[in-house]
Chain A
């Protein structure tokens, strides 16, 4: 159990069985009035945000959260199969991974957040390398990095790359934004 005085930015609390992260926190207290603890919360399962005001005597549940490091192995239908440190197979549903699944390569190490034993969120390495499987044609010899075109990585996932990037190239992507960082190797 947490009390209102434990609340701060970055704390994880549980509301009605759902884990939330406090993304913004403000202590306010009108003159002669009660202390109010204004929180912006992010639902750790759906990503939805909500605002909530707590009072001094409120109590918050502490979520049972675990983090495990897993390595991606292979896709089995709707399941993405990872290996834990004992090489045990751990399947994770595509809908838990969301778009993160498109950034996986064999052996990509991810941090998986579990709530009451159920995987709810997957954190990728900040940068991953992916092969371009298809791209729009770009003007040959154009090395400008500020003009972008569409390209696709495995899974038919569309990204934006500079004009000089071509099919077969390996590029580095920032998984937080999905943005192109640089070209690692040329076809």
Chain B
């Protein structure tokens, strides 16, 4: 416990130092909000007529739209009903956004950040997690989602995406087959799995999105951000329709955010990284719960 608390503290300090050195401003945006971003499979925790945030994403993008080119926030986020080895209903999320960047530019940020956090926490960039030695620098495997699925699951989700099969095969076939001795990036998701990512035209189009895996865990998710207000509204509405279809509540649309997009969000990219999972990797903890200073059940 003592060691985990120290690792967490060093990681938090390393993250803040990393962004301060690169000219980012640290923001504190609302934790309780009226309009969480509608996503088909993310449940917001109701709180006094509003919701607890599932991510600071929409507010951070509004800061970009108001002319701040580099912003980050690190703090608690909440997702209702998520509890398992890699999930807790309350967890710590880091998000950063950079104007003028695309998803591969922020992948480079992520690599440098992970090395800095590892050095601060453990003194080096080689970590051992669940019996596997992982070298965090210099080589990260980068696979397209299409290639990974063709190789490990035997089908191409980019050509035609069966959403249910995609989830089942991703966790059942693809993720277990990824190398464990180095970080791995899956990139270029089916357009149906774009969430808030920009789609790159093509036949078929792909979402400029990546996910980073290390130690068998998904550590971070990134997009070249969608800046088209109309397309963003369509996606929110589609997500709400999918939510209603399965009996989940629809969320109000964040009109202030959509208005900011209409006035103009510069091309940008952003990353969301689970701090608890990073602490797991750097401290050897088995579960997210083990990395948290106090767990829910104890309160």
CB distance A56 to B246 under 8 Å? yes
Cα(A53)–Cα(B165), bound, Å: 12
Residues of B close to A53: CB separation below 8 A = 168, 172
Report A43-62 CB contacts with B as 1/0, cut-off 8 Å: 00000000001011100000
Residue of A nearest to B197 (CB): A32
CB distance A31 to B83 under 8 Å? no
Chain A min CB distance to B51 (Å): 18
Q: Given A36-B171, A53-B168, do A31 and B82 touch, yes or no (CB 8 Å)?
A: no
Cβ contact of B83, chosen from A27, A30, A32, A57, cutoff 8 A: A27
* Interface residue B22 (Cβ < 8 Å from any Cβ of A): no
CB distance A35 to B81 under 8 Å? yes
CB distance B218 to A28 under 8 Å? no
Q: Given A26-B85, A57-B246, A57-B247, do A35 and B41 touch, yes or no (CB 8 Å)?
A: yes
CB distance B195 to A28 under 8 Å? no
Interface size counted on chain B using CB atoms at 8 A: 27
Residues of A close to B82: CB separation below 8 A = 27, 29, 35
* Interface residue B229 (Cβ < 8 Å from any Cβ of A): no
Chain B min CB distance to A32 (Å): 5
CB distance A32 to B195 under 8 Å? yes
Chain A min CB distance to B207 (Å): 10
* Interface residue B262 (Cβ < 8 Å from any Cβ of A): no
Chain A min CB distance to B259 (Å): 25
* Interface residue A34 (Cβ < 8 Å from any Cβ of B): yes
Cβ contact of B84, chosen from A28, A33, A34, cutoff 8 A: A28
Residues of A close to B167: CB separation below 8 A = 30, 33-34, 36
CB distance A34 to B41 under 8 Å? yes
Residues of B close to A33: CB separation below 8 A = 41, 166-167, 170-171, 193
* Interface residue A5 (Cβ < 8 Å from any Cβ of B): yes
CB distance B84 to A32 under 8 Å? no
Those of B22-78 within 8 Å (CB) of chain A: 39-42
* Interface residue B164 (Cβ < 8 Å from any Cβ of A): yes
Residue of B nearest to A57 (CB): B246
Which A positions have Cβ atoms within 8 angstroms of B?
5, 26-36, 53, 55-57
Shortest beta-carbon contacts, A-B, top 8: A27-B84, A33-B167, A30-B170, A34-B41, A28-B171, A32-B195, A31-B221, A34-B167
Known contacts A26-B84, A56-B81, A56-B246; 7 additional CB pairs below 8 A are A29-B41, A30-B175, A33-B167, A33-B171, A36-B168, A53-B168, A57-B246
User: What are 11 of the A-B contact pairs (CB < 8 Å)?
Assistant: A27-B82, A29-B41, A29-B86, A32-B39, A32-B42, A32-B221, A33-B167, A33-B171, A34-B164, A53-B168, A56-B246
